[in-house]
Amino acid sequence: MAPSSQQSSSTAAWTPATWRSKPIKQSPAYPDESKLQKAVKELNRMPPLVHPTEIAALKANLRDVAQGNAFLLQGGDCAELFDYCEQDAIESKIKLLLQMSVVLIWGTNKRVVRIGRMAGQYAKPRSSPTEVVNGKEMPSFRGDILNGYHEDEREIDPNRLLKAYHHSAATLNFMRSALASGIADLHRPFDWGLGHVRDPGLKEKYSTIASSIQQTLRFLQVINARPEELQTVDIYTSHEGLLLEYEQALTRLLDSPEARSPAASRFASRAPSPPPGEADDTLPVRNLAIHGQDYYDTSAHFLWIGDRTRQLDHAHVEFFRGIANPIGVKVGPTTPVDDLLALLRALNPQCEPGKITLITRYGAGKVADLLPKHIRAVEDSEYRRCVVWQCDPMHGNTLSTEAGIKTRRFNDIYKELQESLRIHKEQGSYLGGMHLELTGDAVTECLGGSEGLAEDDLSTNYTSFCDPRLNEKQALELAFLVADHFSQEGKTGRK
């Protein structure tokens, strides 16, 4: 049972500003408060970036994932740069997520929900306020929303909040127009070239899968079958909700689509009633949906709390507990089992399926020891089949070469995914998704994969300003491996 202090905090009165009364981690020190307030005031008057109807649709999709009826693919840049707001970069990520999802649909035999780490992933937590670049100590690069990567751009600049908004808006605008124009029509041919795969056995396996997908798509085209899933798709946006000044400014009290739906009525009926004589305006904001409105963070469809900012009594949890968006929480080696349930009870006291995604990130060597304990804590509680379990196999597997280059091994990434799939099956739970740092560009930042990238290859095209990303071939290969796992499991289950 959760402590009474946690129960009281989850039902306390909430506004988009109550986080300011709490301790906060990873909060930047702006050198000029008046400039900050001017920028925030400007943000307050800007229109929402996403609509509550879209947010409600994503939450409904995530409800399907939580209940084992769909699979979640989430991916994009570690630290999105303003420079990535251009046609080719956006298109390459959309096409990669689409191609990966086609492979996963084939393997899982489930609908795939797609979320991009894009149109807002401009802030990055850092372990130290300073770093050494070319032998010189300077303020750490904290993402384009706060400061720039170059030496003369390291001062925190509040005007970057507005730049982040406008770059997010432009990215979203192009994403929507590209999807509306048919870029996501799955009848269009894909480049299934597998010339980079060096292992003959692996190449044959991938070729068999690709051939099966192509034959299915051709058959559907011949018979003029055009189900919605094959014509267009939704790609939702997400980022870490790190910078609360920005998130608060884009949080709005809006009409709730969920309040008008039968599903929302069911959830509202489970909401706690106010004590006799208590005024409605002291209710937690999540219950405002009963009255037809709720608070939405309109900066993105989906936001997550990072590993460094999930303290129960701190500002980020306080802010996140009041917004109607679906929420992610990073779960790692430093997450106590008791904290996991307390977080769920603070962020989702009504046990709404799909509201919370637990994004596990342990490292390939630790997942077997830590994941079962976290699964049992949740699955043996009132939150069984309410959360989405998602594996982030990237962040726990970062290392540095002897030359000091930050990288990740493809085999470690896949091992953590493979172990997570096995453990969830053993525990009777469902691993509903994967969360990847990837790019549609031909970068050389992660070791291994079918290309056989070695340490000497990293300098060929290493362009990340933060963490290493899978390139398009490595990301697609990972989709093949996961799809094959599900496919083989399905064949075993049918015997």
* Distances from the Cα of 361 to the Cα of 128, 280, 304, 330, angstroms: 21, 40, 13, 7
Query: Would you say 330 is a known binding-site residue?
Result: yes
Q: Which residues are bridge partners to 327 per DSSP?
A: 303, 356
pLDDT tens over the chain, length 495 residues:
333 333 345 567 999 999 999 999 999 999 999 999 999 999 999 999 999 999 999 999 999 999 999 999 999 999 999 999 999 999 999 989 988 998 899 899 999 999 999 999 999 998 888 888 888 999 999 999 999 999 899 999 999 999 999 999 999 999 999 888 877 666 565 666 677 777 787 778 778 887 887 777 776 666 665 555 555 568 999 999 999 999 999 999 999 887 655 444 333 333 333 333 333 333 334 444 445 899 999 999 999 999 999 999 999 999 999 999 999 999 999 999 999 999 999 999 999 999 999 999 999 999 999 999 999 999 999 999 999 999 999 999 999 999 999 999 999 999 999 999 999 999 999 999 999 999 999 999 999 998 899 999 999 999 998 899 999 999 999 999 999 999 888 776 654
Tokens of 289: 């949906």
What Rg, from alpha-carbon coordinates, does the chain have?
22
Sign of the CA dihedral running 347, 372, 393, 178? negative
* φ, ψ of residue 395 in degrees (nearest 5): -70, -25
Helix 410-427 / helix 472-494 crossing angle, nearest 10 deg:
30
Kindly give the pairing relationship between strand 136-139 and strand 235-240. Answer: unpaired
Query: Would you say 93 is a known binding-site residue?
Result: no
Within 13 Å, how many C-alpha atoms sit on residue 247's CB side? 35
Query: Would you say 313 is a known binding-site residue?
Result: no
Q: Strands (DSSP E) along 256-404, which ranges?
A: 293-297, 302-305, 327-331, 356-360, 388-391, 398-400
Tokens of 119: 């149109």
CB 359 within 8 A of CB 395: no
Tokens of 279: 């005024």
Query: Would you say 78 is a known binding-site residue?
Result: yes
Residue with structure tokens 């070791």?
A: 447
Q: Is 412 helix (H, G, I), strand (E, B) or coil?
A: helix
Query: Would you say 467 is a known binding-site residue?
Result: yes
Query: Would you say 435 is a known binding-site residue?
Result: no
Amino acid at 109: N
CB 326 within 8 A of CB 354: yes
Sign of the CA dihedral running 219, 224, 225, 227? positive
The distance in angstroms from the start CA to the end CA of the chain is 42
Domain residue ranges of the chain, discontinuous segments joined by +: 34-124+158-182+235-257+290-493, 185-231
Q: What architecture is domain 34-124+158-182+235-257+290-493?
A: Alpha-Beta Barrel (3.20)
Query: Would you say 291 is a known binding-site residue?
Result: no
* Distances from the Cα of 159 to the Cα of 48, 68, 117, 122, angstroms: 18, 43, 22, 14
Q: Which residues are bridge partners to 431 per DSSP?
A: 389
Amino acid at 436: L
What residues contact residue 86 under an 8 Å CB cut-off, 6+ apart? none
What CA–CA distance (Å, rounded) separates 263 from 56? Answer: 11
What residues contact residue 115 under an 8 Å CB cut-off, 6+ apart? 58, 72, 73, 74, 75, 235, 236, 237, 238, 301, 302
